Structure 1
Amino acid sequence: MTDRTPLTLVIHATTDADLPGIHKAIAAAGLEDYFPDLLNGPVPGETYTVEELDIVGGVEHNSLAEDLAAHAPHTTFELRHGQHYAHDGHYAAYVPGHPLYLTTCDADGDPQTPTDEVTQHLKMAPATMTVEMWLTIHGPDILGTHVRTALERYRT
């Protein structure tokens, strides 16, 4: 692998009121030249991809996802930044009414939650807490279950 990896953004749904916020987030990431079609008005469900994005000095995926969620709060999106050498890729998802979900992803762009992160959270749980209780209380944020379930209605 080189220092260049793909970045994929899918805008599943948005509103006209969010277009300036999308433009602001794309501009802050320095991606205007890579996403000219997106800046003309995103097509819901369309996948916008930069095949090879420079990692060194390139887009910081969390900042882009955080900017999109903050400046375009009525926009549903997924963002994937590919793997680099032995490092996992990055995944972000946002559906209005749910917190922004940030995690790693595999080579196919499928989100994954690192085992050590889950283990750390489980160790902090009270001894009386069952797995079912833990999944109900903490699972939605740590595993992104609510946002990932909400995304299903936008996928075709």
Structure 2
Amino acid sequence: MLDIIRDHCMDTEWGTATAPTELSFGTVYGAHEMPLGTVDELASLLQQEAPSAVFEVWQDPHQVADGKYIAHVPGVGTYIADCDAQGNPHVDVNVLHGRLSDCPEGMTVREWLDSDAASVLGTAVLAALRPYQDTATSSPVAA
């Protein structure tokens, strides 16, 4: 993970500090400027080079385009959504409406949340990610 962060000129000061020499759990690494689509490359590299890593990456919105958020928890899955500049994922109302409209008749909301909603809302991945986020904010540990 450290090599990927360094190779993309990322650090805790958003590309203005010295390259990190160690990783700190729960620390956000970033860069001010990256080509659009870099988030996809980062997520792919992290999954290939650090297959047991739990991570979330995002690219900020650009002009009229939403940002892109990718969270990955091995054994649970990957969630991809639009996001804001802080990496908070959000769902396009039109996409959500389309999926709700396609919900099979007779299916309860709970059944829908356990099936198709998981891909739209990221329920399983975000729930699995939460303990890592809680631990990171309460006690960062060097990795």
Q: What interval of TM-score do these two structures reach, taking the shorter chain for normalisation?
A: 0.7 to 0.9
Shift in Å, 1:123: 2.8
Which secondary structure state, in structure 2, belongs to the residue aligned with residue 48 of structure 1?
coil
Task: Judging by fraction of residues, say which structure has more strand.
Answer: 1
The count of corresponding residues between Structure 1 and Structure 2 is 127
Matched, 1:45 2:30: no
- Alpha-carbon distance in structure 2 between the residues aligned to 1:64 and 1:54: 11
Distance 1:79 1:125, change over 3 A: same
**Residues 76 and 125, structure 2, Cα contact 8 Å, conserved in 1:** yes
Matched, 1:134 2:115: no
TM-score under structure 1 length normalisation: 0.69
* Alignment-derived partner of residue 112 in structure 1: 90
* Alignment-derived partner of residue 10 in structure 2: 34
Shift in Å, 1:153: 0.9
Which secondary structure state, in structure 1, belongs to the residue aligned with residue 55 of structure 2?
strand
* Alignment-derived partner of residue 14 in structure 2: none
Structure 2 gap segments, 5+ residues each: 12-18, 138-143
* Alignment-derived partner of residue 9 in structure 1: none
Match of 1:96 among 66, 74, 84: 74
| Runs of 4+ displaced beyond 4 Å | none
- Alpha-carbon distance in structure 2 between the residues aligned to 1:85 and 1:121: 27
**Residues 5 and 29, structure 2, Cα contact 8 Å, conserved in 1:** no
- Percentage identity across paired residues of the two chains: 31
